[in-house]
Structure 1
Amino acid sequence: MPESNNCCEAQGLDAITAKSHMDESIKPTEPSLIQQVIDNPTGDGITDTNLRVPEGCPRIDPCPAKAAIQTQECETEKGDGDNIALERARNAPPGPLGPVPTGHGENVPLEYWTPLGDLTGTRPAVENFSLSRFSPNEWNEHNKKLSAACHDGIQVATTAGFNALCSISRAYAEADRNQMDNNIRLSTRAGTIHRWTVELERMIADIIEEIDLVQEVRRRTMRVKSVLQVVENIDKDMMRIRCFRMDNDLVRDQVSEEVTKELSLCEEIRDVYIRLLDQIKMQIEELITAKRRVEFDWSEKKEAYEIETESRGLGSQSDTILWKAGSTRIPPDQSSPSGYEYSTKQVLAEGYTAKQRSSTLRVNVDAMIEKAVKDLRDQADRVDLTLTQQIQLQEQALRRLEAELYKDLQQLSDTETLIDEMHDASKKLDGAMKCAQTRLDKRLLRHGVENCRDVPQFGLIEEVKSLSESVSATLGQLKRAENSTSSLIQSRRDIEKEMVVKRPVILTVPYYVCDRRSYKSNAQLEIQSP
């Protein structure tokens, strides 16, 4: 029966298709060969030379249809009505393709059919008005097949439904499990991003604080530099004032040397401050660059954290979920977890390096400012010391000059008094001289022997001589006294001139220079010192 069913299914081609296939396969000049096949189904007397099978058609083999037909005749004589149809089919005139096939071969398997059945695709006819016929067995078999097919369809549908429900349940469970796992992964990823975000925020705060500290160091350096200009101005002003000294006081003393050293030190310190300001400026730019990079990374991580948080909050029942075609693609520039961590650590390392450099620079700047201020203080102390010593020397010289002037004036006064006394003394000697000379003159009026050189004569002469010598000595002393008076007057003039030269220095330097250095320069340096 299965072979018969296969035969039925194989013979499902219609007559037109079979005829067209046969027309294409068999040449028109070969109908006698087909007739020989039909008349002699066993193939007796047909050789390969007589039967030329077209290329593409199956080879015609002998078919044992005759024995099957005889067996079918015995079965159909049982009174089921098939013998009438069989006799009618046998007595029917042949058709265009030969005798009409009888129904004895209806239950013959397909492999026992003649090749003509394969070519025509038709079953043995029952009568002239029918092309094919099914037996009751085939009808029952067909119904069984329909029932079996329906039952199989129901079974398949039931199994498919059960499998579909199981698949849906598994899909739901798998979807829930995957969604839960992805929620955990998203939460972990969000926590990681938040941790790095906090680290970056801390680094940004540290860099901002470091920038403020460096800015404060920069402002203080600029203030110290401005104070350095004040010191230079004071030194230059001091040199200018000291240039007003006159005559012998205009000397290059120790004060000038120390002030010159202080000016040179100020120039060197200014160069150091300029280099420090350039380094501070470059460090601030480096910090700002590091801060911008950290802020850029922080903004990306902040946005990524918001995206991860929003993605973590999404669910199957969310209102904002949509179809996103191509969302599973992997961008070529997408980073790996190790690359992500390395990039973040690299940004933090650069920020930390810039912060460390800035801290080191601040320490160095503070140390250099402290050293520069110390050097300026030491030099200022040396200048003040030498200036104080010079002022003391000037005061001592002035006091000595004042003392000498006092002595000179005292001596001049004494000399003038002496001159007056000597004039008076010489005038007093004039009377004695006149007296002695008058006595001698009167004694010369004596006459005769009375006019002798007696002892009184010699005594008066000695008196006149003595008075003359005394007067001459007095006049000589007077002359010398007068000459000494001139020298004393010249000395007084010189001393007074020198005092006029030194007194302005004594009066100007302490109050104009020392006070400014004490109350301006040192005070400002004290304020600016670290």
Structure 2
Amino acid sequence: MAQTDVLLTKQPAPQTVPACELPAKLYDIARNTGAYTSSGLATAGFRTAKYLVDEWFQNCYALYHQAFADRDQSERQRHESQQLAAETEALAQRTQEDSTRKVGERLQDLQCWKSELQHEVDELVAETALLLAQKQRLERSLDATAVPFSIATDNLQCRERRQHPDLVRDYVEMELLKEAELIRNIQELLKRTIMQAVNQIRLNREQKETCEMDWSDKVEAYNIDETCARYHNQSTEVQFHLHSTKLEESASTPETWAKFTQENLCRAERERLASVNLRGLIDCILRDVAEDLRLQCDAVNLAYGHRCEELEDARLKLEQHLRKTLLEITEQEHSVAALKQAIKDKEMPLKVAQTRLYQRSHRPNVELCRDNAQFRLVSEVEELNMSLTALREKLLEAEQSLRNLEDTRMSLEKDIAVKTNSLFIDRQKCMTHRTRYPTILQLSGYQ
């Protein structure tokens, strides 16, 4: 609305037209009014060929505005194009420098891994030539461990026949489990040592071949990256490769690439160290096996001795508690009988007091007085009821205590039988069987 007002102010003032002297019909036609004009029903929805002065001014101003907007957009577009060209040029230069630096860093990583692989290959070659085996003593020692293992297993199975609550994970069972686990570990160690003596050379060679293949791949990759690092914008060997940015599905990531070589080195080092340890540990393994087994055997025997002492002491204490419990049961039975008699003795005084109150409630008229006798009788009934309540509660407690004592007596008798059974298993079964434990010479593989 404001723009329309501005446009109207810029228009020249309309000139005053003198009245026309034409006839009425011609005058109406000139003014496009009246019955003989083109504005009838036949021309509905159309306009005349002439525009108004306001529309002419609006059209001019629209053209001015469009020309100004087009010039402004063109100038802004030229400025943005120049700026974009400069930015992309700087970005391309920085990107190429960064890519060249990254390729150089990659060359350093490849060189480092190549050196590590070459060093490991040399170590494997030297270690493979040094490996020897001592299989005969290892096999004899492995055969000798079968007897301790059978003894420990038999002891565990015998002690499974203990009854509750003595079926407990005590020190003896922990030592037996430790002994069985120790024997299993020793047997696995001896078997593994025997197999390693046979297979270690083959494993060393396999790891050596793996490291050599990885080293060869890294040499080839190093040569390729070294060539790429020498390329620049003036190089004549470069050309367009439209699909070169597409990553191969089988391509590795820097993490998996480093992990692959690191795993190869770790496996190779592990095999090499296993070979070194195997040569150095065969002698001390056989020496330590006998010592560890005899020490564990002594620990188990000592645990058996302590456990048998604990069982014997527990059985004696249980028998003492059983005797005391039987005496207490007798006393508690007398106490229950006394409480029942006391309750029975309170019934007659309560009847007397309640009868007195009942009879006194029939006193006539004003004689129905709340005198001291009435108050005393009421308090007497209350006291007797309280006494009966306390006696009945105490009777319930005494009866429950008597039941608890009976349960305790049965538990003590059962536990004494359990302890006797446990002592028989530990002393007569297990400790007698352990006298057949092999000697140190047998465990060392000399016999």
- Sort the TM-score into its range (normalised by shorter chain): 0.3 to 0.5
The higher relative CO (CA closer than 8 Å, separation ≥ 6) is in: 2
Q: Which has the larger radius of gyration?
A: 1
